[in-house]
Structure 1
Amino acid sequence: MTHPAFARGRTAVITGAASGIGRAAAEACARAGMAVAMVDLPGPALTEGAAMLAGEGHKARAYIADVSDRAALAAAAARIAAEMPPVTVLMNNAGVGLPSSALEHPEVWARTLGVNLWGVIHGTQVFAPAMLAHGQPAVIINTGSKQGITTPPGNPAYNTSKAGVKAYTEALAHELRNIPGARVSAHLMIPGWVHTGMTGKPGAKKPAGAWSATEAVAFMMARIAAGDFYILCPDNETPRALDQKRMAWAMGDVIENRPALSRWHPDWAEKFKASLAED
């Protein structure tokens, strides 16, 4: 079963489409019969990806834009509107994962929030009006992260950006379902451990515990067809039940007034581990 937004002869716009999950999503949409607008920074990966799909007989074009630059993304959207069929799938997927500290690296914070959070907001606000206006079934998929929910120590800029994506997409879903006659829905993609250029070294073999980007996208499309908002992906190492326990513990910090990030706190770490064995 496939969601009707993934319709033959319609367009999927995918940001961060040069590699990883974005590239896999572009391939899946093209092979479903959609035209594909692949948006990313300039480089051979983007042009070669679009050329590969075009060589297979699909309508796929590369569009250069930095999603943190609203004007650049709006210019790309204007070209897409002129050159491609109506957009029924928007996947705001572009992301960066730069090392950061809560006390330092303001330039990293600016870039991370600019791409990971503002890129999602810009993409939605630039493309959604036309998607609502044409009246066809459509979906907006925003790529979040489990780190935006459990916020583990080590990369606060990334965690903050993805927590923002979660909150923004929840608000977007609520607004869309309260627009009379709207046929656009929002969905939060929450990948598990996916082997991409961001999570592994270039050219490295996929670890046994990781999913491929193709597996993650197939799961995403199946869950959208089933009507899920939260697309919580497992992987070969972490089943859904473990993710649920980790997320429940994170919310328990607030409810029980435990120390922040108690899962990693010396006074609570063993209690967290014990909780994993509970039914």
Structure 2
Amino acid sequence: MPLLEDHIAVVTGAASGIGRAIAAGYAREGAQVALVDVNAKAAEEAAQEIREAGGRAASFALDVTKREDCIAIAKRVAAQLGPVSILVNNAGINRRNPFTAEPTSVFKDWDDIIAINLNGTFNVTHAFLDALRATKGRIVNIGSIQSFMHVRTPNSPAYTTSKHGVLGFTRALAAELGKYGVRVNAIGPGLIETPLNAQVRANDPDLIKIFMDHTPLGRAGKPEDIVGPAIFLASDLSSYVTGSIVMADGGYRTI
């Protein structure tokens, strides 16, 4: 029996990378998936791929920084698909300006990254809260190795701050929502080859070497490497797991 049969799952940032892979993985496990992304065209293309493979999927355009739009999408998903029982907060961005860079860029990085990575996670979760409580649902937040550390590469401090915040938010909600039967966990990816970092990977081999020298498995991850942990945390296999983060970083934090 598929692990997620009879579940309705919402995945943000589902048009590409990790979110797209998780959405496809959930569909293979029997879930009906709502692919949510600011890029409506790419989200629909990803949903179409799932449908062509025999899965059930619909796409929805959403800017997670807009709280009222998140509420509206929650209502649309409920009306079109039914009660949501799985939420994956994956939408996120990163930039690599240091704190000592030109102030205008530093200020913009902070505002944009916090708005999407942290406030967006809050906005979407709150919008679907009633449904998740009613279904005794599962929330999976995408953290990072930077939920624990600021990696030794050029990186915006706003990103590290946002991912620390996502882990704190995960733990706070796990403590509060457990009495409703809602489980809240996170995944902590390391360097994953996605469109988000494609330019850096292509143009900065020294940066990639820093990551690889620090990764016992000796390779960058693929989006599919996050799918297994995401299925585990959304399924009954993890029925007694909440407030945790599953690291999928190739062992980065061991060195």
TM-score by length of 2: 0.82
Distance 1:60 1:74, change over 3 A: same
| Residue 223 of structure 1: how far off its partner (Å) | 5.7
Other-structure match for 1:216: 226
Structure number, greater radius of gyration: 1
Secondary structure at 1:54 match in 2: helix
Distance 1:220 1:51, change over 3 A: closer
Secondary structure at 1:86 match in 2: coil
Other-structure match for 1:230: 245
Distance 1:114 1:11, change over 3 A: same
Amino acid aligned to 1:199: N
Instruction: Please tell me whether the aligned partners of residues 22 and 230 of structure 2 are also in contact (alpha carbons under 8 angstroms).
Output: no
| Residue 124 of structure 1: how far off its partner (Å) | 1.1
| Residue 63 of structure 1: how far off its partner (Å) | 0.3
Q: Which moved more, 1:149-158 or 1:27-36?
A: 149-158
Output the aligned Cα RMSD. Answer: 2.4
- 1:54-104, Cα deviation, whole Å (9 max, x unpaired): 222322111000011111111111100000032111000000012333252
Distance 1:193 1:101, change over 3 A: closer
Q: Which runs of 5+ in 2 are unaligned?
A: 203-211, 213-217
Distance 1:60 1:110, change over 3 A: same
Other-structure match for 1:124: 125
- 1:215-255, Cα deviation, whole Å (9 max, x unpaired): 221133336634362111132xxx2xx5145xxxxxxxxxx
Secondary structure at 2:138 match in 1: strand
Larger RCO of the pair (alpha carbons < 8 Å, separation 6+):
2
- Rounded to whole Å, the distance in 2 between the matches of 1:197 and 1:101 is 21
Identity across the alignment (%): 32
- Rounded to whole Å, the distance in 2 between the matches of 1:75 and 1:55 is 28
* Structure 2 residue corresponding to 1:188, chosen from 186, 189, 194: 186
Other-structure match for 1:267: none
- Rounded to whole Å, the distance in 2 between the matches of 1:108 and 1:164 is 16
- 1:99-129, Cα deviation, whole Å (9 max, x unpaired): 3332522122111000000011111111122
Other-structure match for 2:174: 173
- Rounded to whole Å, the distance in 1 between the matches of 2:200 and 2:190 is 19
- Rounded to whole Å, the distance in 1 between the matches of 2:92 and 2:168 is 17
Distance 1:151 1:139, change over 3 A: same
Instruction: Please tell me whether the aligned partners of residues 190 and 233 of structure 1 are also in contact (alpha carbons under 8 angstroms).
Output: yes
Distance 1:82 1:223, change over 3 A: closer
Q: Which has the higher helix share?
A: 2
Other-structure match for 1:50: 47
TM-score by length of 1: 0.76
- 1:147-187, Cα deviation, whole Å (9 max, x unpaired): 1211236320111111111111111111112x2xx221000
Structure 2 residue 117 is the aligned partner of structure 1 residue 111: no
Give runs of aligned pairs for residues 249-260 of structure 1, distance below 5 A.
Answer: none
Instruction: Please tell me whether the aligned partners of residues 146 and 192 of structure 1 are also in contact (alpha carbons under 8 angstroms).
Output: yes
Other-structure match for 2:75: 78
Structure 2 residue 61 is the aligned partner of structure 1 residue 64: yes
Secondary structure at 2:161 match in 1: helix
Distance 1:37 1:189, change over 3 A: same
